[in-house]
A and B are shown apart, each in its own frame.
Chain A
């Protein structure tokens, strides 16, 4: 992403433009661009414009949209008694993703980057949770946590501890969900890192070893800097994914108990969609969209600065 903006020098753009104009690239361009553009407009841009429009109206989902209320919905969202909790939870998810999930993924990636049969099996095992559908994963963990018939009380009995009903406990529900999120997504980031690590030429590592560089130093000063672009991507996915977290929460806790485990998106669904206050929901989605755009722009800016240094 960064290279497109920064790499094009004056002399390089002319031949590049010529390349786009020639017939061989024009055909695929005309063939592949319109469907994507149409789909993107229909299913991304238009709904976004719709939601933004709803946010200025009071609308229950039925009939024409006529009741203009200005910024009232935004005011309602910001002063809603559960909105603060939802924002806090989404930020916790971001923090846990960055501080726990990514380091764990990196650690596993470094340990599992070599090619061998055993390592392949481990890698697949760690990647499996990511391939599971979110709802299925949520249901599996709901069972694990179930205080009556689940796995957790069995484990608790074995070690002689009375386990709480974690998903019904305001204190435990967030850590319990964080565990599932980490379990579910660290394998994905691990794969990104492994792909990066495998592209590092083995001569570089070998040369370092011959020079007597220690293992940790190799990781710190050679491997991690060389997969910088993979990390950039994975951090970006982690943040935007965390802000949009929805489908794991619904089967696990449904935002409960007492609306203490909502993320911004489950908050939107509960109070905007299910309560049929679509204007309110639209306002939440606009706020979330703005937050995501700010994150994306700030992120690019920070990266740009780092690159310049």
Chain B
């Protein structure tokens, strides 16, 4: 038998073992249908993945396909020429399946398409119904910022930790600042500030976001030792039923279970999602959501086979398995239709109805400005910095990035 020439596709992933099973299954099916292509699945843990990617992409070991959260980091990669434009390779059907939002998220400012969107996610206020009952707090009373602060105080009075946060990792704290900015500044305000227009992030709405954050921090709402808690620690703390609420992405549904002592987490009937409190006079639309729209990018040397593989992987048929197992909400049309998890269904609806789906600020703003946003958020959570100083620091970082 003649030796068949094989194209190897290296797909760098950062997923958990259970999710990997489904990934392996998809690889096996794809390889069976395409005998000339072999898909390899090297792994890097999430934080290591972010730290190592820059070097990796410029080395001979660059993966062909890798996960991306889009935004500023992706734009820098595109500008540096380490990615492959794929608008002529991707089939119209695959583009169509991810919708206009999916295509635009992976189109760089140079107008080229460099990847395929895979999933959407939203940062929501998870809450524990039984703790609300115990403290006598009505979830409906939490819809405004004042009501929310009153509720936090009620939990404190009842001896229950109101909020879990993994402030050691910082990005969990930056969700608070981001959500406040989404409410106060809205889409136009945020985009103008990111461009460095006017006062930028030192503008009134952003100082206000810091002030609201400090109002909350002053109530000492977090679990003890929150500055030493990683995301996983905080997630487990909430999953163990020790905190009433956790502002976190929809993926926390599974992570909260994994990190809880019992591995069961909070049972579905005790778990709920609260809308983030609205703020009077805020410029944001009440339907605005914050979260991700992530997918896969193709590196410079990726073959057409790599695109073919991702198209297969991104098909509604394969993606529906990930949706049904509750790992994430696929963007591919039809893939999320049969999701049974009520929380994921709700999140999918929120995003579908959103006036603005804001991308994670630390990713959207790029590593430098995003890093500063994460820093000041952890400081504000610890009540260790003024709102003006926080706003000024972000503005400085933006000015620094705009100049270069």
Do chains A and B stick together as partners? yes
Binding site for B on A (CB under 8 A): 58, 60-63, 67, 145-148, 165, 167-169, 253-254, 256-259, 271, 273-277
How far is the CB of A122 from the nearest CB of chain B, in Å? 33
Q: Are B404 and A258 in contact (CB under 8 A)?
A: no
Q: Size class of B's contact patch?
A: 20 to 34
A60 closest partner in B (C-beta)? B76
Contacts of B58 in A (CB 8 A): 61-62
Complex alpha-carbon distance, A275 and B81, angstroms: 19
Say yes or no: A258-B368 contact (C-beta < 8 A), given A61-B55, A62-B58, A62-B79.
no
Taken together as a complex, chains A and B put the C-alpha atoms of A192 and B76 apart, in Å, by 50
Give Cα A17 to B117, complex, Å.
70
A-B contact count (CB 8 A): 75
Q: Which of B36-44, B198-206, B220-228, B322-330 contacts A (4 or more CB under 8 A)?
A: B220-228
What are the residues of chain A within 8 A of B79 when measuring CB–CB? 62-63
A145 to B82, CA, bound (A): 43
Tell me, yes or no, whether B371 is within 8 Å of chain A by CB: yes
Give me the 8 closest cross-chain CB pairs, A-B, nearest first: A62-B80, A165-B225, A168-B227, A168-B228, A147-B225, A63-B80, A257-B227, A61-B54
7 residue pairs bridging A and B, Cβ less than 8 Å apart: A63-B81, A67-B404, A146-B228, A165-B227, A258-B384, A273-B51, A275-B371
B64 at the A interface (CB under 8 A): no
Choose one: B54, B55, B225, B378; the contact of A258 (CB below 8 Å). B378
**A271 to B374 CA separation, bound complex (whole angstroms):** 13
Taking a contact as CB atoms under 8 Å apart, the answer to whether A62 and B54 are in contact is yes
Give complex CA distance A275, B170 in Å. 14
Is there contact, CB below 8 Å, between B76 and A276? yes
A167 to B121, CA, bound (A): 32
Q: Taking chain A's interface residues, is the majority helix, strand, or loop, or is none over half, making it mixed?
A: loop
Distance in Å: Cβ of B382 to nearest Cβ of chain A:
7
A274 engages B371 (CB within 8 Å): yes
Give CA–CA (A256, B382) in the complex, Å. Answer: 12
* CB-CB nearest in chain B for A280: B368
Residues of A within 8 A of B375 (CB): 259
A254/B80 in contact, CB under 8 A: no
Give the chain B neighbours of A168 by CB distance below 8 A: 168, 225-229
- B54, B379, B382: the one contacting A276 at CB < 8 Å is B54
Q: Are B80 and A277 in contact (CB under 8 A)?
A: no
Is there an interface contact between B82 and A167, defined as CB atoms closer than 8 Å? no
What's the minimum C-beta distance from A252 to chain B, rounded to whole angstroms?
10
Residues on B with C-beta less than 8 A from A271 are 371
**Shortest beta-carbon distance from B215 to chain A in Å:** 20
| Cα separation A167 to B229 with both chains bound (whole Å) | 10
